[in-house]
Structure 1
Amino acid sequence: MAARVTLQTIADRVGVSRMTVSNAFSKPDQLSVPLRQRILAAAQELGYVGPDPAARALAKGTTGAVGVVFTHSLRFAFTDLVATGFLGAIAEELAPTGLSLTLLTSSDDGDIVPARDVAMDGALVYSCDWTSRAVDFLHRRRLPLVYVDQDPVDDIPSVNVDDRSGARAAARHVLDLGHRRIGLLLSGTHGPYGLLDDPGVVDGHSSRQRLLGWLDEFGPAGVEVMSARQDGTGLEQARWGARLLLDRPDRPTAVLCFSDAVAYGVLQVAAELGIEVPRQLSVVGFDDNPLATQVRPTLTTVRQDIAAKGRAAAATLTATIARAKAGTSAPAEHVLLPTELVVRESSGPVNPQ
């Protein structure tokens, strides 16, 4: 059996101290380039891959990883275009820091509870169900946290989008086009689902802010609002919600949607029912993800800068971690990113019946 290769093994081969070998891996700026190259070459020749990550983390008091906590299953991180764009921007912002990204669900079922058990230096709490125990575990661990698409809390840094302003712009747009019978298609993780007598029953920061923005405009205008709420954000759920609004004699002339993904479901159902968009129905999404320009007709939507949100979240978290390590404090920063209405082909003047 081959002898175990250690730092001392490499030190003996090169003729330096064990600490010098350790510095070659953990503090390369303290060695000359030729000496470090000699040490790394000897390590490679002997089959040594580097110090044990767990031991190094214990010695440094840091894991080198940050978490992103989701309410949804991790599949959401790879299939939702907004989530993938957000995570890509975070990864790009973190790259120069050497920090890695760990994706975690907020599930607390079974023996492993990610928010409690996974080693990390800090975490982004991203659009999480506020009733989940995951956030409580993170707080109890005293980890540096940043909230993203969450209700702001005084002492926790946050990054949000101005959802309410964007929703107001979308509502004004359809009002200016003459629409007065308007459907709202919402999504969420808690019931009730289906057609709603009270559209104010929604969960999640972004959902609430978008609904408030719509109602800011519709209330004074005396609009007839028809609301439906789907269970989740998937296409099939969106199609189900869209059918509730559109497959009826008193269907709305415009539908405002929680997201572009939801709006895509509305476009599909409208086509199946023979409803022409935008001549007979205007459809407006939210997010301006790549889907908005891929569908036909192209989608009128509210743009949020997903990449800017990811960069801001990563930068805020790394700054919060740095302050925690240094034992310093500062008032929690609350970033609010602007939105912009983007008018495309899916919205048009109301068509008198």
Structure 2
Amino acid sequence: MTLQTIADRVGVSRMTVSNAFSRPDQLSAEMRRTILAAAADLGYVGPDPSARALARGTTGAVGVLLTESVGTAFLDPMAAAFFGAVAEELAPTGMAVVLLPSIGSEGMIPARDIPMDGALVYGCAGDYPAVDWLVKRRLPLVFIDGDPVDGASSVLLDERQGSRLGAQHLLDLGHRRIGILTMNPDAPPGWAPDAASVGSNFVARERQAGWVEALGEAGVTPVVMQVHDNVEPDVSEGARALLAGPDRPTAVLCFSDLMAAAVVHAAEDAGLRVPDDISVVGFDDSPLSRRLRPALTTVHQDFDAKGKAAAHALTSSIARFRAGDAPAPEQHRILVDLVVRDSTAPPPST
């Protein structure tokens, strides 16, 4: 079955049939419906995608590079919300989204081998081998929640401002014994008290800097507890360790809502009441923050705005690349705000 077969059936040229599949704007809606109906009747599904990609010089797909496996990423509600916004924004363009694990198997390196027109690099450190492959391919790239690369667009939250807002809220309530529960993937698995290193993770580094700066300006030195990753059981172990010391904090600033939930549960297990005995502040304003009891005070990030900004920056970069224009990197900074709910209150009287 060929395009010419359909052309003969409808009584048009082969180019007209080709346009019905590849350039529908060149035909009237009625003519395109007639051609597609004839193709369906003859059992023709359309031009070979690989051949069409070669002819167009485009694959019609964009990659999303993850820090972990695809399955692990979708256990993270923040990542899932971001991907949903990206997919919705790209839907009208007809571009497909290809999820790329950061590592391959059996000689397959997704970032090197999968055809794509550009890629979103989500939360990956710039020295990941997969990022290096994307850069070598000279693809249009947009970095989200990670250290951007020269010449590439980026979409970042105002992480420091968000963590400063949370710290200042606790200071305004009167807290002076404040703990921080955060992550450092460069640390050994498990948890470590009073860790000095902030590691290579961009988000963790920026959030901890904001907390330490705001508290330091008020003369407060926080107790920092780092966990290897923002997953169980690391977060629960870190939360219990943070609350177990003799100088237990009266408030805790957390890297994520998941960590904040772990602190709330650890406090309950220790016979402490939130917020009467201990206040807890999260980060992200995920659905978990609203399900938790008490409802969580947290820093809100706009996942929809972040996803749309990332998709727009990537499609713009791809369009410039196709036109042969020089790169024009875009830097988007997504603003954040503090949502005060029921998990924070003044410190208990001593």
Please say whether Structure 1 and Structure 2 have the same fold, judged by a TM-score greater than 0.5.
yes
Whether the 8 Å CA contact 1:108–1:133 is kept in 2: the answer is no
- Does 2:224 correspond to 1:249? no
Q: Which moved more, 1:157-166 or 1:5-14?
A: 5-14
Query: Cα deviations across residues 291-330 of structure 1 (Å, max 9, x unaligned)?
Result: 1111000000111111100000000000000000001125
TM superposition shift of 1:249: 2.6
1:244 partner SS: helix
Aligned to 1:204: 201
- Does 2:102 correspond to 1:101? no
Q: TM-score, normalised by structure 1?
A: 0.95
Aligned to 1:188: 184
Aligned to 1:273: 270
1:224 partner SS: coil
Q: Distance in 2 between matches of 1:33 and 1:313?
A: 32
Query: Cα deviations across residues 30-62 of structure 1 (Å, max 9, x unaligned)?
Result: 223333222111111111111111111111011
Sort the Cα spacing of 1:136 and 1:12 in 2 relative to 1 into closer, same or farther, 3 A: same
TM superposition shift of 1:253: 1.1
Report 1:1-353 matches (<5 A): 5-192=1-188, 194-353=191-350
Q: Percent identity over the alignment?
A: 54
Whether the 8 Å CA contact 2:178–2:223 is kept in 1: the answer is yes
Cα RMSD (Å) of the superposition?
1.5
Sort the Cα spacing of 1:256 and 1:34 in 2 relative to 1 into closer, same or farther, 3 A: same
Q: Distance in 1 between matches of 2:51 and 2:43?
A: 19
Q: Distance in 2 between matches of 1:194 and 1:39?
A: 63
Whether the 8 Å CA contact 1:108–1:134 is kept in 2: the answer is no
1:286 partner SS: strand
Q: Distance in 1 between matches of 2:331 and 2:193?
A: 33
Query: Cα deviations across residues 102-125 of structure 1 (Å, max 9, x unaligned)?
Result: 111111453111111111100011
Query: Cα deviations across residues 187-212 of structure 1 (Å, max 9, x unaligned)?
Result: 23221452343444333111111011
Whether the 8 Å CA contact 2:77–2:286 is kept in 1: the answer is yes
Counterpart amino acid of residue 112 in structure 1: M
Counterpart amino acid of residue 53 in structure 2: A
Q: Distance in 2 between matches of 1:199 and 1:289?
A: 28
Q: Distance in 2 between matches of 1:306 and 1:50?
A: 36
In the alignment, structure 2 segments of 5+ residues that lack a partner are none
Whether the 8 Å CA contact 1:200–1:211 is kept in 2: the answer is no
1:79 partner SS: coil
Q: Distance in 1 between matches of 2:41 and 2:19?
A: 18
Q: Which moved more, 1:204-213 or 1:100-109?
A: 100-109
Whether the 8 Å CA contact 1:65–1:102 is kept in 2: the answer is yes
1:49 partner SS: coil
Aligned pair count? 349
TM superposition shift of 1:78: 2.0
2:284 partner SS: coil
Query: Cα deviations across residues 234-273 of structure 1 (Å, max 9, x unaligned)?
Result: 2322111101101233221111110111111111111111
Q: Which moved more, 1:228-237 or 1:57-66?
A: 228-237
Whether the 8 Å CA contact 2:181–2:224 is kept in 1: the answer is yes
In the alignment, structure 1 segments of 5+ residues that lack a partner are none
Q: Which moved more, 1:98-107 or 1:23-32?
A: 23-32
Q: Which moved more, 1:151-160 or 1:121-130?
A: 151-160
